[in-house]
Amino acid sequence: MIEEIGLVLAGLFISTAAMTIGIGGGILWTPLLILAYGLSPQAAIATSLLIQVIGMGSGSFAFLRTELVDKKLALIFFAAALPGVIIGSFITVNLPQQPVQMALGVMAMTLALLFVASQDQTDEERNNYKFNQAKVNRLLPIPGFFGFIMGFLSLGIGEWLIPAMRSRLQLNMNRCVATIIPMMFLLAVVAASLHWSLMKDSVEMNYFFWGSLGTLVGGQLGPVVARYIDDRMLKETFIFLMTLIGIHLIFQSI
C-alpha cells in the first residue's frame, strides 16, 4: 500500500509542477519509475506516456476553461511535432536498455543547464500578442525535433519551446503554458497509443492506475497554483532535481 500511496503523491506533485511551468511530466515520471520502482527504461517510458495522457488531459480541460489557449498555435505545433513522435516511438522499443538510460540522463542534465542559463523575465511587455505566421514558422524546428525526443524518451516539448515562445512570439508565461499543455496532451495520446500497441505487455497497469489518480488532481491544481507560487523557488528546485536524476541515470548506464 505504501507503494501505491507513493505513486498517488508523485502523480499529484509531478502533474502540479507540469501544469505550473509547462514541462512534460515524463522528465520526472520516467526516472522515478526506473530508479524508485525498478522498471526498464522502455517500460517506464510507455507507462509514463499513459500517465501523461491522464494528467495532460485534466490540465487541458482546466486551461481551456480559462480561454488562454491559442488553439491555432497549439495545432500548428502539434502538426510539426507529430512525425517525430511517431518515429521516436518506434525507435525506443528496438534499443537496448543502457543507451536509453544514458540518453535520459543526458537530457535531464541538459534541461537543468538550460534552466540555469535562462533569465527570469517579467511579462509586462507580453500583453499585446498577435499571431504572426512568419515568426511561428521559425519556431517549428523546435517541436519538430523534440517531438522525436518525446516519442523516444517520454520527455515533454514545453520545457524547450516555452522559452522561445516568450522571447520570439512575445507571449506571457500563462498563455505559453496554457497553449503548450493541450498540444502535449494530443501528442501524448499518439505516443502512448504507439507504445501500447508495440509493447503493451511491458506497461505496468498498476503503476499507471495509481499514478493517474494523482495526476487527475494535479492537472486541476496546477493552473491554480501557477497564480501564487514563487517561480524562482520552483525553478531552482527543478534544476536541483534534474541534476541529481541526470547524474544518477548516467552513472547507472555506464
pLDDT digit string, tens, across residues 121-143: 554 545 566 778 888 999 999 99
The grid coordinates listed for 17 are: 509542477
In this predicted structure, what is the pLDDT of residue 243? 82
In this predicted structure, what is the pLDDT of residue 197? 86
Total tally of structural domains belonging to the chain: 1
Q: pLDDT for 91-115, tens place per residue?
A: 876 767 677 778 778 877 887 777 6
In this predicted structure, what is the pLDDT of residue 119? 57
In this predicted structure, what is the pLDDT of residue 97? 67
Q: What CA–CA distance (Å, rounded) separates 229 from 112?
A: 20
pTM value?
0.81
- Length of the chain measured in residues: 254
Distances (CA, A) of 112 to 87, 118, 244: 26, 10, 10
In this predicted structure, what is the pLDDT of residue 174? 78
* Range of the structural domain that residue 180 is part of: 2-253
Q: What CA–CA distance (Å, rounded) separates 68 from 123?
A: 15
DSSP string, 181-233: HHHHHHHHHHHHHHHHHHHGGG--HHHHHHHHHHHHHHHHHHHHHTTTS-HHH
| Mean pLDDT of each 10-residue bin along the chain, 254 residues long | 86 84 78 86 87 89 86 95 93 74 79 69 56 88 90 80 82 84 93 85 85 87 72 68 76 70
